[in-house]
A = this chain, B = another copy of it.
Amino acid sequence: MKMVYKIWLDRGGKVFGDGPYELLRGVNNLNSLHQAAKEMGMAYSKAWRLIQILEKRLGFALLERKVGGISGGGSRITPEAENLMKNYERFRIDVEKAMDEIYQRHFGSMKKGEMR
């Protein structure tokens, strides 16, 4: 047996979670929302809409567009997005640790056949 959970931040709808975190991390690594979406197997149009919705709910921009230059532009994350990601990373680590510990405490001894 194992424990499964899904967790997200909400402000009038989903505002941040593992999916958006991965997408922003991809943008940070690849300097491109297009490439980041592709890497996650997500349509660019879907990724773009997601970012729009999250930015509206959060009240600040997550991405800024780099125009021109030798690489022909691209996207990068804003300082606010970077800050949110850092908080979220620490939050996720603490959640993971606490959840594992609590699961072990209450169900750790329950192997198959011992559950009765």
Residues of A at under 8 Å CB distance from B? 1-11, 14-15, 58-60, 80, 83-84, 87-88, 90-91, 94-95, 98-99, 102-103, 105-107, 110, 112-113, 115-116
Contact = CB atoms under 8 A, between A and B. Distances in A.
B15 A9 contact: no
A58 to B, nearest CB: 6
Number of copies: 2
A4 B14 CA distance: 9
A6 B9 contact: no
A15 B98 CA distance: 21
Contacts of A87: 106-107, 110
Listed from nearest, the 7 A-B pairs whose CB atoms lie closest are A91-B106, A5-B7, A98-B98, A1-B11, A94-B102, A4-B10, A80-B116
A113 B5 CA distance: 29
